[in-house]
Structure 1
Amino acid sequence: MLLHLALKHFAVVESAELSFGRGLTVISGETGAGKSLLVDALGLLSGLRADSGVVRHGADRAELAAEFALGDVPAARAWLRENALDEDDACQLRRVIRADGGSRAWINGRPVTLAQLTELAGLLVEIHGQHEHQALLSKTSQLALLDAYGRTDAERAAVEAAAREWSALLRERETLLAQGDVGDRIEWLAHQLRQLESEALDPDSLAKLDADHRRHANAAGLIAACDSAFARLGDDDGGASVARTLQQVRGDLARVIEHEPRLAEVDAMLEQAAIQIDEALLLLERVRGDLDLDPDAFEAIERRLSRIHELARKHRVPPEQLAAHRDQLAAELDALRGAGDRLDRLDAEIESARARWRTAAAALGARRRDAARALAEATTALIAELGMGGGRFEVQIEPQESERPDPLGAERVEFLVAANPGQPARPLRKVASGGELSRISLAIEVAALGVDAVPTMVFDEVDTGIGGAVAEIVGQKLRALGASRQVLCVTHLPQVAAQGHAHYRVSKTASDGVTQSAVRRLDETEREEELARMLGGVELTREARAAAKRLLRNVA
């Protein structure tokens, strides 16, 4: 439920703050005073596009803020948790529009995108403008309204899922058929694969081949280096080697070690060094044993490297990616070899998917037919109350014949209306009278609204073109809707305004050539004066005041 709305430097409003409660709140005011600006502000807080024209002349930015209570909106609480924007059970929406046209948005003090603002606001508030009935002329909107009225979310989701599955299988078959005769491609892939599989292309094999090549290419130098190192570290001919020198040093120290205990630590270090040198000599001997000047082996390694680099150039990939490329060709070859079998299986799978879609579509169609009957009965009763006695509203179900998967189901709908008794029902979009269209549209809205979980509904002069006793009935319907939802209504009709549980008046003044709008909540006496103004115009007569009192007294 909307608790608080604050505007600053917004159009002709310098600053305004409004508090709202349950039930029906009406907003009235003179023509041009800016009473619809409150609806516009809620629209911008719901993510509508903004331009610099909404910023008050002379200001650098407009600021809008709204606070909602979430006690009865579990979907909004869940959305805030999922997006890490929750803050107890409170929800504050804020938007700033700059004079240069840019804007920013926040939820609970944290910056968000307009898409996020729109998504959350859609769970909190539903706005119906004075031209909202124009949307009802679209068959697409009519189908969406019927589905919302019939609560067909589960059935429609099943149809959409079945349509996606069916579409995917059809696309797969079309792709396979588009390949045509794949025999030449299979033969080419098999030849390429045989060449690639003749070489060991895994990373370990390529690394070993590279190491073997470097070792054979530098064999002479490696042999010489090993021989020289072996001679210097451990000469068996009695020459001066490192190992022999260490033995001599340890012997010299052993003769005097008893006179200086720290020499024992030196001796231990030399002992470890001698052990390390012995191990190095053993490894050096094994390495030397593996080295051999073998021109034939070197040539064989070079031939293999050449083949691998030639394959890499041929397939236009680095050598280290040849293995992945080989696997890719193998997968394509397997797929092509199984294309015929896959086509045979696809036909059966497509038929099964079509059957599942038809079953889901039939269930959706049944729910839509039930909803159509209920919506037609409710709307027909309401248009009679709205001064169109004998009028009739129908929802026509139109089967859709198609061999392609349709995510919307197997039918479309069109709203039909007969404005007078004895007349045939005609499409709503062909109803000529604007007043009739307004009343019929309002009847549909009142009949269909309240079935969703959105707690706040806003009506902006949807009563245009209605007057007299019918206007009072419209007000009663909106007040009744306020029993289960918070309803805000901008109106110019006193019969509607009298039905409000609370009443705001928007007025305008001019100072130094600058127009300003102000909003204030009216007490009972002020409500009588405002209703009298709406009834009688600028001059408040005794008769207008008496009529205003009667309107308020007659409110149920």
Structure 2
Amino acid sequence: MILSLSIRDFVLIDRLDIEPGSGFTALTGETGAGKSIILDALSVAMGHGSDRAMIRAGQDQSTVAVEFSPPVNHPVWAALIESGIDASPDETLTLKRVLRRAGPARAFLNDQPVSAALLSEIGDLLVEIHGQHAASSLMKPSSHRRLLDLFAGNETLLDACASAYGLMAEASAKREELEVEHAKAIEQRDWLSEAVDELSGLGPREGEAAQLTERRTLLMQSERVTEAVREAEAVLDESGVEDALARAARATDRICRLPGFEASEDALPVAARAAAEAVERALIETREAANAIGQLERLVHHDSAELDSAEARLFALRAAGRKHNCDPDLLPDMLVSLSERLDLVEAGEDALKAARKAEASARADWHQAAGKLSDARKAAASRLEKAIARELKPLKLGRSVIRVSISPLAEGEGGPNGIDRVEFDAETNPGAGFGPLRKIASGGELARVSLALKCALAEAGSALTLIFDEADQGVGGAVAAAIGERLISLGQSRQVFAITHSPQVAASAAAQWLVEKGAGGSRIRGLDDSSRQEEIARMLSGAEVTAEARAAAGRLLEGA
């Protein structure tokens, strides 16, 4: 509901602050006092049409702000989150519009700049304005399906239809993906077959290219290794180092066997033994070196055939890698990938058939869910038409007929909300033909039609604030009383405002505000019991308030 409305420099209003309560409130006042201006200001704050002419004369800008307190479960919070607006159900929500004489108008949600379109979207979730100049959601065909579903209590059927549609969409996407892949695979069938045959014939092994590279490098160096080995053997042979060391070993051994040298710890015998051991070690290591060189010579050999074979294999692997734009060592993986793609061509038709079958099954499930939803809508449409008819007669609209038309959407237009187009049509005179509500109903009838629809739809719709602009236009007596009764009924669960010239409607309100024009512009004030009686008496008698009018006003208030 609206907690407060603040208006600055708007048309005839210089400064106006309102803090309305819950229930049904009537706004009264003489023609031209500014009642509709307040409604226009609220409409501007909700993001609807604006004009620089709305800025009060002599001022540079006009500001309208309206503060709401939606409950935690109200759909407006989800809409705000989806739009990226920082808002919390623990706080109030303020919609503000600033009209500037120089520059475009600006819109705000909780002081965060937003587009007028988003402000309008949020505002329509909070307030419904019904009148000859206001296109409420009841008048918009785009909202009629939602209203019918709310009236019918189709939430479970809607969830089932949306879920089935989601599964069908997934199945369709999978089928389309397979069709694209299959089409590409067919186009490449010959190339794939040739590539798989070629790689299969090549038979690449994991890590084979790296191993061949290493082996080829060794084979290419074998001649140099052989030359070096032979040179080492020649140097050892020609130098006679082994013979020299053998003679030296024998000489030092004779020294160690001299009398008194074997066990003596004197410096000379110790040095002799150390020399003998050193020469012996050198002789042993020289012989080991000769043996190692001999072993190296036996291992190294230059095999031109093996080198040619390794090079041919390595070059073939590298050529295949270049062809398939991959590392030669990854050719085994490439063969697997190409084989799978070829398998898709050869076995893809089966996968496509399975995907098409799954899609058809999902589509059938969706059509079944949508069909159940359509049946529920058709049954509810009949009940809604009867409920509306019961409301129209007391409102002097008994000759009017509201029809809830349900027609199938064109092929491909169905979605998560089913396959139906729902529209509320009106025939205001028998035989005149049905047409859209807003075009068929006259200005005075439009607000009453909205009132009838709103009463019949009861709790449908998210707006917790309803505003009716002169729903009593051109009627009086019993019809005005019937309008008042319905506004009272709506006010039990919502915040309801009615701009009215009818004393019967004003008397039925829980609260009454008087809009009057003064030297500084339009003003609004709440009326106590005495002031209400005087205002209703004015509405009954006109410019001169008589005692009879006051008495009649008192009776209206007592009977309300």
Q: In structure 2, what is the Cα distance between the partners aligned to 1:302 and 1:60?
A: 83
1:445 aligns with 2:432: no
TM-score by length of 2: 0.65
1:520 alignment partner, one of 517, 525, 533: 525
Q: In structure 2, what is the Cα distance between the partners aligned to 1:146 and 1:123?
A: 17
Q: In structure 1, what is the Cα distance between the partners aligned to 2:205 and 2:470?
A: 76
Q: In structure 2, what is the Cα distance between the partners aligned to 1:299 and 1:510?
A: 106
Higher mean C-alpha deviation, range 92-101 or range 82-91? 82-91
Q: In structure 2, what is the Cα distance between the partners aligned to 1:201 and 1:6?
A: 81
Higher mean C-alpha deviation, range 478-487 or range 501-510? 501-510
2:387 alignment partner, one of 356, 378, 381: 378
State the partner residue of 1:103: 106
Report SS of the residue matched to 1:97. Answer: strand
1:150 alignment partner, one of 144, 152, 169: 152
Report SS of the residue matched to 1:22. Answer: coil
Contact 2:533/2:554, CA 8 A, preserved across alignment:
no
Higher mean C-alpha deviation, range 153-162 or range 330-339? 330-339
State the partner residue of 2:480: 471
Q: In structure 1, what is the Cα distance between the partners aligned to 2:199 and 2:132?
A: 72
Contact 2:128/2:137, CA 8 A, preserved across alignment:
no
C-alpha displacement at 1:341, in angstroms?
1.2
State the partner residue of 1:2: 2
C-alpha displacement at 1:125, in angstroms?
3.1
State the partner residue of 2:257: none
1:481 alignment partner, one of 482, 485, 490: 490
Q: In structure 2, what is the Cα distance between the partners aligned to 1:102 and 1:301?
A: 74
| CA distances 1:189-230 after superposition (whole Å, capped 9, x unpaired) | 45467789989999x999x89x99xx99xx9xxxxxxxxxxx
| CA distances 1:522-555 after superposition (whole Å, capped 9, x unpaired) | 3334334443444455x23427843761564254
Gaps of 5+ in 1: 220-293
Q: Spell out the pairing of 1:47-446 with structure 2 (5 A cutoff).
A: 47-48=47-48, 52-70=52-70, 85=86, 89-99=90-100, 100-107=103-110, 117=119, 121-132=123-134, 140-166=142-168, 169=171, 183-191=186-194, 308=321, 312=325, 335-389=344-398, 393-398=402-407, 405-415=414-424, 427-429=434-436, 434=442, 439-446=448-455
Q: How many residues align?
A: 474
Change in CA separation of 1:25 and 1:346 when aligned onto 2, cut-off 3 Å: same
Contact 1:393/1:425, CA 8 A, preserved across alignment:
no
C-alpha displacement at 1:149, in angstroms?
1.7
Report SS of the residue matched to 1:484. Answer: coil
Q: Which amino acid aligns with 1:62?
A: S
Change in CA separation of 1:139 and 1:44 when aligned onto 2, cut-off 3 Å: closer
C-alpha displacement at 1:160, in angstroms?
3.4
State the partner residue of 1:490: 499
| CA distances 1:315-340 after superposition (whole Å, capped 9, x unpaired) | xx999x99999999777655544441
Q: Which amino acid aligns with 1:546?
A: R
| CA distances 1:373-414 after superposition (whole Å, capped 9, x unpaired) | 332232111112112457655535446685875544344445
Change in CA separation of 1:199 and 1:38 when aligned onto 2, cut-off 3 Å: farther
Q: In structure 2, what is the Cα distance between the partners aligned to 1:53 and 1:467?
A: 35
Gaps of 5+ in 2: 222-303
Higher mean C-alpha deviation, range 352-361 or range 57-66? 57-66
Q: In structure 2, what is the Cα distance between the partners aligned to 1:342 and 1:149?
A: 45
Report SS of the residue matched to 1:130. Answer: coil
C-alpha displacement at 1:477, in angstroms?
0.8
Change in CA separation of 1:350 and 1:71 when aligned onto 2, cut-off 3 Å: closer
C-alpha displacement at 1:502, in angstroms?
1.8
Q: In structure 2, what is the Cα distance between the partners aligned to 1:96 and 1:442?
A: 28
2:546 alignment partner, one of 536, 542, 545: 542
Q: Which amino acid aligns with 1:145?
A: L
Change in CA separation of 1:53 and 1:303 when aligned onto 2, cut-off 3 Å: farther
Change in CA separation of 1:380 and 1:413 when aligned onto 2, cut-off 3 Å: same
Change in CA separation of 1:34 and 1:429 when aligned onto 2, cut-off 3 Å: same
Radius of gyration: which is bigger?
2
Change in CA separation of 1:452 and 1:418 when aligned onto 2, cut-off 3 Å: closer
Contact 2:72/2:89, CA 8 A, preserved across alignment:
no
Q: Which amino acid aligns with 1:63?
A: T
State the partner residue of 1:14: 14
Q: In structure 1, what is the Cα distance between the partners aligned to 2:14 and 2:314?
A: 86
C-alpha displacement at 1:154, in angstroms?
3.2
Contact 2:66/2:96, CA 8 A, preserved across alignment:
no
Contact 2:46/2:95, CA 8 A, preserved across alignment:
no
Q: In structure 2, what is the Cα distance between the partners aligned to 1:187 and 1:139?
A: 56
C-alpha displacement at 1:147, in angstroms?
1.7
Higher mean C-alpha deviation, range 351-360 or range 445-454? 445-454
Report SS of the residue matched to 1:101. Answer: coil
Q: In structure 2, what is the Cα distance between the partners aligned to 1:56 and 1:205?
A: 87
Q: In structure 2, what is the Cα distance between the partners aligned to 1:78 and 1:473?
A: 37
Q: In structure 2, what is the Cα distance between the partners aligned to 1:327 and 1:462?
A: 77
C-alpha displacement at 1:91, in angstroms?
0.3
Contact 2:150/2:460, CA 8 A, preserved across alignment:
yes
1:500 alignment partner, one of 506, 509, 523: 509
Change in CA separation of 1:194 and 1:18 when aligned onto 2, cut-off 3 Å: farther
Q: In structure 2, what is the Cα distance between the partners aligned to 1:305 and 1:23?
A: 85
Q: In structure 1, what is the Cα distance between the partners aligned to 2:466 and 2:124?
A: 11
State the partner residue of 2:43: 43
C-alpha displacement at 1:56, in angstroms?
3.7
Contact 2:175/2:359, CA 8 A, preserved across alignment:
no
C-alpha displacement at 1:474, in angstroms?
1.0
C-alpha displacement at 1:443, in angstroms?
1.1
Contact 1:137/1:428, CA 8 A, preserved across alignment:
no
Q: Please provide the CA RMSD for this pair.
A: 5.2
State the partner residue of 1:236: none
| CA distances 1:241-267 after superposition (whole Å, capped 9, x unpaired) | xxxxxxxxxxxxxxxxxxxxxxxxxxx
| CA distances 1:225-244 after superposition (whole Å, capped 9, x unpaired) | xxxxxxxxxxxxxxxxxxxx
Q: In structure 2, what is the Cα distance between the partners aligned to 1:196 and 1:41?
A: 78
